[in-house]
Amino acid sequence: MGAYCNEEVRMFPVCDFASSRDLRLSKNVRDNVHGTIYLDPLALKFLDTEQFQRLRDLKQLGMAYMVYPGAVHTRFEHSLGVYWIAGEAVQKLKSYQGLELGIDQFDIQTVKLAGLLHDIGHGPFSHLFEREFLPRVLKGSKWSHEQMSVKMVDHIVDAHHIDIDSEMIKRVKEMILASSEFALPKGTKEKHFLYDIVANGQNGIDVDKFDYIARDSRACGLGCNFDFQRLLEKMRVLGDEICYPAKEYLTVQKLFLTRADLYRTVYTHPKVKAIELMIADALFKANDYLEISSSVQDPSEYWKLDDTILKTIETAPIQELQEARDLILRIRRRNLYQFCNEYAVPKEEMEHFKDVTAGDIVCSQTNSSFTLKEEDIAVSNVRIDLTRGRQNPLQSINFFKDYESEEKFSIPDSRISHLLPTSFQDMIVRVYSKKPELVAAVSDAFENFQLKTYGIKTQVHPTPEKKKRCL
């Protein structure tokens, strides 16, 4: 086994694991969120591969550590956490309803593996690679890390000759895709509730969120008062769907509100986004020479791609990488793209909103001592919601009255506290100047764009005069 923290060997009775008549060898690690995580033998076969160990070199929050220094945790830790909570969730369902639901050891092992492998296809720098870089170099492509995770699972099984039931692998891959557009329709799955544990495309409550909300909050030094253990203890399956006690609707709401708060304060922090935009530009400028995007369809090449590509660009004495290298040097020296301003899209305009581009800002410039070009401007269109876009996520969740009840129901808005939000999505447009001396010109053009689009300036604060001065 690889180098694990506080590694121990422990013997478990056969009822805990997938196989038959002997005792199973397992190992454990100490996790700073969940305590001791026990790794079963089948999980170890996947864990101890170069493809899975690559997750140690993928920071969970990408470049957020440049603003939140503690945010250096990795996809490796997160994947172990999701594996563990997924096992906890399905074991609790088995304890409470095992006979009526028909949950067996095969189901438990499948859900745990799906949790372990759900992020195996992630690219460098968290979602930046998929959302900011690839759309620029693979125009029209629908590449997703979930699809790559599925390809990577097959690659690991084949490359390492892992002896595993073909039906189990099939279900693991379906569970990984369960929250994506490639998920199978509900009626095509046996025990559908199992597919909502790791990645829930129905209502957004899943153990993936349970782990990253707790882990990210801890790493960034933020308080987290969402108690996922409470939901694990209270959940129940009704009509092939995981439901929750009606009295816990505020706990469920807290899950979504905490996630939204993390998006606002960490994931889309203005300086984090500035750095991500610079990294995306650096990768774009390096792509022709390094052929970064050429590996995204082939798992045998893709697994070699991780966050260390930044150091490759930074230290390679190659002229073709000079522009990318200069951008990384600017990040190191904190000479970032300058945040000019932002505005929230008016609520009544959200339905028909189209992403703002650098071209939109350039077309809105007036008389200025500088003539702006699209390459002088970076725009970030930020969407923050409660997992269901502009819809109330509680409407997609079914509850039950008490444990004697067999009826499930949704909770209408009329029964929800009036202190909860009436709008469930924010759209924020942020504009950055790539050159400090253009801050004033970009800011003025941005204000003119708002006047042209909405007839008013929708930003809350004017751009500080000190930013408008040449730096």
- Catalytic residue ranges: 145
User: Cα angle vertex 202, ends 262, 150, to 5°?
Assistant: 85
- Find where tokens 């410039």 sit: 365
With CA atoms as reference, report the closest residue to 176 among 235, 128, 111.
111
Answer for the pair 361, 378: CB distance below 8 angstroms, yes or no. Answer: no
Exposed/middle/buried for 156, CB within 10 Å: 0-12, 13-18, 19+? buried
Enter the tokens of residue 164.
Answer: 């595993």
Helices then strands, counting H and E runs in the chain, come out as 18, 9
User: Cα angle vertex 330, ends 327, 334, to 5°?
Assistant: 145
* End-to-end Cα distance, the chain: 53
- Find where tokens 């305590």 sit: 35
Q: State the sign of the Cα–Cα–Cα–Cα dihedral 276, 281, 282, 287.
A: positive
If you ran DSSP here, which 8-state letter would residue 133 be given? I
Neighbouring C-beta atoms of residue 218, cutoff 10 Å: 16
Answer for the pair 37, 112: CB distance below 8 angstroms, yes or no. Answer: no
Enter the tokens of residue 438.
Answer: 């253009």
Exposure class string for 362-374: b at 16+ Cβ within 10 A, else e: bebbeeeeeebee
Give the list of residues 6+ apart from residue 414 with CB closer than 8 angstroms, or none.
none
Please name every residue paired with 10 in a beta bridge, in sequence order, or none if there are none: 26
Torsion of CA 198, 201, 204, 205, to 10 degrees: -40
Answer for the pair 124, 307: CB distance below 8 angstroms, yes or no. Answer: yes
The number of CA neighbours under 13 Å toward the Cβ of 182 is 14
Enter the tokens of residue 409.
Answer: 């129901």
User: What single string gives the DSSP state of each residue in 380-408?
Assistant: EEEEEESSSTTS-GGGG--EES-TT----
Interatomic CA distance for residues 49 and 336, integer angstroms: 37
Answer for the pair 397, 235: CB distance below 8 angstroms, yes or no. Answer: no
Enter the tokens of residue 176.
Answer: 């990984």
Exposed/middle/buried for 415, CB within 10 Å: 0-12, 13-18, 19+? exposed
